[in-house]
A and B are shown apart, each in its own frame.
Chain A
Amino acid sequence: MHVRLEIVDKNQPETAVIRCHELTPEIEAMANLIRRQDVSRQPIVFYKGDEHYYLSLREILFFETDDDHVYAHSAADAFEVKARLYELEAALPGYFVRVSRSAIASILHIYSIQKSLTGVSLVAFRQSHKEIYCSRMYGRELFRKMNERFIYENI
């Protein structure tokens, strides 16, 4: 695909136009990725005790809820996030995907997905002992995203 970049004046809105022959899943994923760029720039603050942490979202393996709290897990640590899971789902970059009612995972860190007879899949992460279950309802979306992972890996 030919890529053309144009610098516009500050008073004009920044716009990305994709001219394609048909709307394929790859094109749609690319469009979603561009749409989410603005949102993902808003920093998410991570808390642990009295300390505030400013981490890159790329370090996060998954977000999970525990009663009224939402936690972000890195490979070896966990931090509290002052947001609801549905708010995060809307704000996070495209490489995050909902895997159950209580968790959102980063497809960039997924190492393996183990399917069971019940349709629930066990998701393991690279360089971490942490695991989460992906429920049957969200399984298809997870596998679709995993097939699109190459789009997010080099960004």
Chain B
Amino acid sequence: MKTSRILWSLLLLGCGVLLLLHALNIGQTYDLTRIIASVLLLGISISSFLHRQYFIGTLPLAVILYLWRVPLGLEDMNIVLVIVAIAILGIGLSALLRPRSRHRHVKIHHDFRSNGEIIDAGQDDAAADDAVLGEDEQVNINCSFGEETKYIHARQLKRVNVGCSFGGTKIFFDQCQVAADPLQINLSVAFSGVELVVPRNWAIQDKVSSFASSVSEEGLISRDDEIVNVRLQGSLSFSGVKIRYV
């Protein structure tokens, strides 16, 4: 994602310059650990706001406030209360500012560009037209603060949207029939674990944009049967995705 890449490049460059200045004893003496931690947390926060993940975006701000409590004259601050207050603000912002989907059967409020970039559902007409899919063609899975299994039984599956935050989801694809080449699996996963159980003849292209996350594979892949092409895209932050071939 272009914006994120520029943001993180600038932040890391800034951190590098500060470290260099400190090593060469140039300029003021800084509390480097605090500054670098704050810069990285700020990066996470801005990046989350860009993805419209307000809840995740506000939490690093609480930690930054805590790190700078002495210079800001807030020595007696109650960190627990501040985190709770900021978390509530984040939930409020998520409820207030999340864009509505144009199509009633699209529950997830993100669309995904083919290169894995997340965009607002209301910003791209081509993507919006593409979103008009029937019940048997598109499956939406949302999971927050819980664990669940989902078996997909669709007969003409073209797209699967997975939204998961602070939870765990196991999705079983072995009972569905794919009608698109490639099948799109769109992930919007934060602080969660997602397991995709897929048939062995699936050839999965990993196009996921991830931060502090990983995509791993388990099981044997078979290329003897007819291959089904699948494109895995979207965003992961602080999460793990496991693809299990059965």
Contact = CB atoms under 8 A, between A and B. Distances in A.
Contacts of B174: 129
A149 to B, nearest CB: 22
A66 B149 contact: no
B206 interface: no
Interface residues of B, number: 14
Nearest to B195: A131
A132 B153 contact: no
A28 to B, nearest CB: 31
Contacts of B217: none
Contacts of A78: 151, 153, 175
A129 B153 CA distance: 16
Interface in B17-70: none
A116 B147 CA distance: 10
Interface string B189-213: 0000000010000000000000000
Contacts of B197: 129
Mostly, the A contact residues are strand
A73 B149 contact: no
B167 to A, nearest CB: 10
Interface string B141-154: 00000111111010
Contacts of B149: 131-133
Interface in A104-155: 116, 118, 120, 122, 129-133
Interface string A78-91: 10100000000000
Interface string B135-166: 00000000000111111010000000000000
Nearest to A67: B135
A66 B147 contact: no
Contact of B151 (A71, A116, A122, A133): A71
Contacts of B175: 77-78
Nearest to A76: B174
A48 to B, nearest CB: 10
B148, B151, B246 pick with most chain A CB within 10 angstroms? B151
A66 B170 CA distance: 14
B172 A130 contact: yes
Nearest to A78: B175
Contacts of B148: 133
Sorted from nearest, which 5 A-B pairs have the closest CB atoms? A129-B246, A78-B175, A120-B147, A132-B149, A133-B147
Given A78-B175, A131-B170, 19 more contacts: A64-B151, A66-B150, A66-B151, A66-B153, A71-B151, A71-B153, A77-B175, A78-B151, A78-B153, A80-B153, A120-B146, A129-B174, A129-B197, A129-B244, A129-B246, A130-B172, A132-B149, A133-B147, A133-B148
Interface of A: 64, 66, 69, 71, 73, 77-78, 80, 116, 118, 120, 122, 129-133
5 contacts: A64-B151, A73-B151, A78-B151, A78-B175, A120-B147
